[in-house]
Amino acid sequence: MIEATKQLEGQFVAKLPLRRHLGGDDSKSVFLTERSDGSKAVIKLVSAEGLQAEKKLSQWKRAAELSHPHLLRLFEMGRCELSGSKYVYAVQEYADENLSEVLPERALDPEEVRQTLGPALDALGYMHGKGFVSGALKPSNFLAAMDQLKLATDGARQAGESYGKNEQRSPYDPPEKPAAPLSASADIWSLGITLIEVLTRRVPSWETPSGEPVIPASLPEPFREIARNCLRRDPNARWTVPQIVDHLKRSVQPVKKEPPAPVPEAPTNRSYGKILPIAVATLIVIVILAMLLGRRSSSGNSTPTNAVLPVPPAEPPDKLPKPGAAHPAQQPAIAPRSPQAGTNQADVLHQALPNISPSAQRTIRGKIKLRVRVHVNQTGNVTRADMVSAGPSRYFARLAMEAAQDWKFVPSTQSAERRWMLHFDLTRQGTAASAEALTK
């Protein structure tokens, strides 16, 4: 089905273009599209053969009624026919990245997990309160849309429904599937599996003699206790969303307050003349230090107050600088790089850096190396850019592609097109850039 639906690129569904095939599986295929207001969205196509298609369409219509800031929105759905085949489709909010794309590179640290769990539990509690079950909690359904973490909703169903007869089991499904009906406790089991995976990059095994999952001893608290109570084989023994939230709140260590510093005695008149110059000098030093610290803080080293997924957030459209321009609050450093073979930096008239916001820069661990091949015309302008090494994040890769197209080179006396390899090295401290002339 995937190969067949990929050929549908360029066709229209309800006046929405199928821009690019993003993937799918045996049951669905996903395309990038644009809504009438110009915003990105995705279209999911499911074959309309059999009763399952009608059930899926009804399921989407009910899920579209859910409205929460941490749930991915479903816009519209219906039936369509493309290249002689019938489908049901759903249009939903576009997400920049999901947790399954982060895990191949690294596990999340405890603070990232805590920041991810907060909004996820808020959304999950809302769904359960409305009588819905997510039914699909796994890393790929924890998404970053704009600057918010959001849970996918296209798999949401009403509690009490039966599992489909032909539904295949996944490592995230509870042991009672498919005998028992859908319930909130099934989501809690899936959450426990996902919690262990994002911290260890492994799905825990629960096919043990006792029938209970093995909770890794290395799992840090409070997540070990949460996972243990999520993964109870008895659905009635599992924690609820409010219990998990309460445990998270109680696990936050109170800040230890230091005793107030003693107030120095006021100087006597006799010593005032000696102390005044020292006090003035000290004050000057303090002011200078404050200015330096203020500059460091403004460069993006402050702790985010509303962090979500460790996936970089997007800036509001009206505040985005032009591609390649430095973010005003970030002022990224251009770190020196060792010259590459065949490189002549004097041929570069203007180099643009990826426009990475400070909050996105703070999510980088180690170094991300991106490589973009650009084609340069006789006047020195980039006519085409090809991603050669995209790294682990589509977000950073997209910004690198936008920056690459804004580079300028020295005009050539030859009419033949030139090719350059642009190197972008991203770290938490800043971005290094260089260009390598390609001879072949």
Least confident of 81-85, 122-126, 210-214, 281-285: 281-285
Tokens matching residue 78: 């219906």
CATH number at residue 352: 3.30.2420
Q: Is residue 412 part of a domain?
A: yes
Same domain, 341 and 362: yes
Same domain, 22 and 101: no
Same domain, 26 and 133: no
Q: Is residue 424 part of a domain?
A: yes
Choosing from 233, 250, 267, the residue where a domain stops is 250
The pLDDT score that the predictor gives to residue 339 is 40
Choosing from 215, 250, 285, the residue where a domain stops is 250
- Measured CA to CA in angstroms, residue 261 lies from 11, 258, 264, 349 at distances of 71, 9, 9, 56
β-sheet bridge partners, residue 372: 387, 422
Q: Are 197 and 141 in contact (CB under 8 A)?
A: no
Which residues are CB-contacts of 263 (< 8 A; sequence separation ≥ 6)? none
The pLDDT score that the predictor gives to residue 101 is 84
Q: Is residue 141 part of a domain?
A: yes
Give the separation between CA 108 and CA 388, rounded to whole angstroms: 27
- Measured CA to CA in angstroms, residue 26 lies from 46, 48, 60, 291 at distances of 9, 13, 19, 59
Choosing from 93, 111, 132, the residue where a domain stops is 93
Same domain, 118 and 240: yes
Same domain, 128 and 82: no
Same domain, 19 and 57: yes
Is the bond preceding 222 in cis, omega lying within 30 degrees of 0?
yes
Q: Which of 119, 125, 159, 169 is nearest to 142 (CA)?
A: 119
The pLDDT score that the predictor gives to residue 354 is 92
Give the separation between CA 355 and CA 375, rounded to whole angstroms: 21
The pLDDT score that the predictor gives to residue 315 is 42
345 DSSP 8-state letter: G
Q: Is residue 298 part of a domain?
A: no
The pLDDT score that the predictor gives to residue 282 is 53
Same domain, 23 and 131: no
Average pLDDT over residues 95-107: 86
Same domain, 81 and 175: no
Q: Is residue 69 part of a domain?
A: yes
Residue 18, φ and ψ in degrees, nearest 5: -85, 95
Same domain, 154 and 229: yes
Average pLDDT over residues 35-49: 87
Give the separation between CA 158 and CA 175, rounded to whole angstroms: 19
Per DSSP, the residues of 202-226 read: SPPP--STTSSPPPPTTPPTTHHHH
| End-to-end Cα distance, the chain | 39
Report the amino acid identity of residue 197.
E
Give the separation between CA 352 and CA 424, rounded to whole angstroms: 10
Give the separation between CA 4 and CA 9, rounded to whole angstroms: 10
Q: Is residue 103 part of a domain?
A: yes
| Residue predicted with more confidence, 338 or 12 | 12
Average pLDDT over residues 130-158: 88
Number of domains in the chain: 3
CATH number at residue 144: 1.10.510.10
Which residue segment(s) compose the domain that 200 sits in? 97-160+170-250
Least confident of 28-37, 248-257, 280-289: 280-289
Total length of the chain: 440
Inform me whether the pLDDT recorded for 377 exceeds 60: yes
pLDDT tens, residue by residue, 328-369:
333 333 343 444 434 456 789 999 999 887 767 777 877 888
Inform me whether the pLDDT recorded for 177 exceeds 90: no
Give the separation between CA 404 and CA 422, rounded to whole angstroms: 7
Is the bond preceding 178 in cis, omega lying within 30 degrees of 0?
yes
Same domain, 113 and 242: yes
Same domain, 131 and 241: yes
The pLDDT score that the predictor gives to residue 407 is 95
Q: Are 422 and 407 in contact (CB under 8 A)?
A: yes
CATH number at residue 64: 3.30.200.20
Residue with tokens 């020292």, as numbered in its chain = 278
Give the separation between CA 385 and CA 339, rounded to whole angstroms: 22
Q: Is residue 165 part of a domain?
A: no
Same domain, 51 and 143: no
Q: Is residue 321 part of a domain?
A: no
pLDDT tens, residue by residue, 80-96:
888 888 889 999 999 88
